[in-house]
Amino acid sequence: MENKELLVELDHLRRERRAVILAHNYQNPEVQDIADYRGDSLGLSRQAAATNAEVIVFCGVHFMAQTAKILCPEKMVLLPDLEAGCPMADMIGPEELRAFKAQYPGVPVVAYVNTTAEVKAEVDICCTSANAVQVVRSLPDQRVLFVPDQYLAHWVAQQVPEKEIIPYGGFCPTHVRIDPKSVIAAKQAHPEAEVIGHPECPPDLLALCDAVKSTSGMIKYAKESAATEFIVVTECGMIHRLQQDVPGKTFYGLPEIVCPNMKRTTLEKVVASLRELKYQIEIPEAVRVRAMQAVQRMITIG
């Protein structure tokens, strides 16, 4: 089907189904462009929690749609491609989490939202890259377990030196692929540019950055900065978002830094998802209720 026909069908379906379309900042431009809201993990969770829509189409990866379902059990949450997972989230399951916790009895666990509902159900509080520092600071304990991203944990530990952060060994395969040499080369080519990076990057990359931000934090930073050029150290989808939201400034991406899971969602799949009401996210109620406590605690913090 031509894009034009798809867009006509989409317009009809989104009204008929009373649907809201949420898209993460790494989504394909054609998907970002039809979304009602675009944002980072925290922003999209807030949109999901606040919406009056009956159906939420989540254009992102599985854990994000699950988070929406955790917050809105009475709504239908659709993920247009069921294979759109997050390899980092799959690096820790409930068994591994229990074994990790058993090594540190009584130490609270912070889970990055990039985790399954089953893992969220067994932690104290969640965080995203936008609020990880605030979440860790909010805990009264001096020692904190942090799962699954070792690099986000490392970055938070640098910001909160008064606490001991014990990381799990997970990582994002997309961000660890970024070669520091490509950032150094970009800096040489664009000496006036500021470097903004995502905290899922390893420390040698973050050491090259002027600012470390969540994906939506990057937009705010680029708007407010006096600089007019930026080297963007994260998934390439951010470039489309930054170019649209911060016109008049120039953004340089890094070649071939793609999250293949984020790119699985296409306009065609979004339309099919609304047409056939697939793929519906379901979470056993006992798991959802416990996971919600950890997500809700995070949302209350800010």
Residues near ligand 13P (CB under 6 A) are 25, 40-41, 114, 128-129, 172, 200, 214-215
Our finding on whether 235 is near ligand SF4 (CB under 6 A) is yes
**Beta strands of the chain (E only): which ranges?**
19-24, 37-39, 55-59, 76-78, 109-112, 125-127, 143-147, 164-167, 194-197, 211-212, 229-233, 250-252
131 binds, among ligand 13P, ligand SF4, none (CB under 5 to 8 A by kind): none
Q: In the structure, how many helices (H) and strands (E) does the chain have?
A: 15, 12
The reply to whether 129 sits near ligand SF4 by the rule CB under 6 A is: no
Please say which residue, 41 or 66, places its beta carbon nearer to ligand 13P.
Answer: 41
Q: How far is the CB of 11 from ligand 13P (least distance, A)?
A: 27
Residue 129 binds which of ligand 13P, ligand SF4, none (CB < 5-8 A, kind-dependent) = ligand 13P
| Minimum CB distance to ligand 13P, residue 289 (Å) | 24
Q: Which of 25, 47, 150, 261 binds ligand SF4 (CB under 6 A)?
A: 261
Residues 145 and 142: their CA atoms lie apart, in Å, by 10
Which stretch, 32-40, 67-75, 160-168, 254-262, contacts ligand SF4 (CB under 6 A)? Answer: 254-262
Does the footprint of ligand SF4 cover residue 25 (CB under 6 A)? no
CA 157 → CA 42, 94, 105, 137, 288, distances in Å? 20, 24, 20, 10, 29
Window 167-186: residues binding ligand SF4 (CB under 6 A): 172-174
In angstroms, what is the minimal distance from the CB of 173 to ligand SF4? 6
For residue 118, the tally of other CB atoms under 10 A from its CB is 18
Most distant CA atoms of the chain, gap in Å: 58
Contact 144, 166 (CB under 8 A): yes
Q: What are the backbone angles phi and psi of residue 187, rounded to the nearest 5°? A: -65, -40
Binding status of residue 205 toward ligand SF4 by CB under 6 A: no
Nearer to ligand SF4, 85 or 180 (CB): 85
Both tokens of 250, joined, read 């120039």
The torsion of the CA quartet 197, 203, 205, 208, rounded to 10 degrees, works out to 80
Return phi, psi of residue 47, to 5°.
Answer: -60, -45
Q: Residue 254, interface with ligand SF4 (CB under 6 A)?
A: no
Restricting to residues 69-128, name those near ligand SF4 by CB under 6 A: 86-88, 114
The site for ligand SF4 (CB under 6 A) is made up of 61, 86-88, 114, 172-174, 200, 235, 259, 261-262
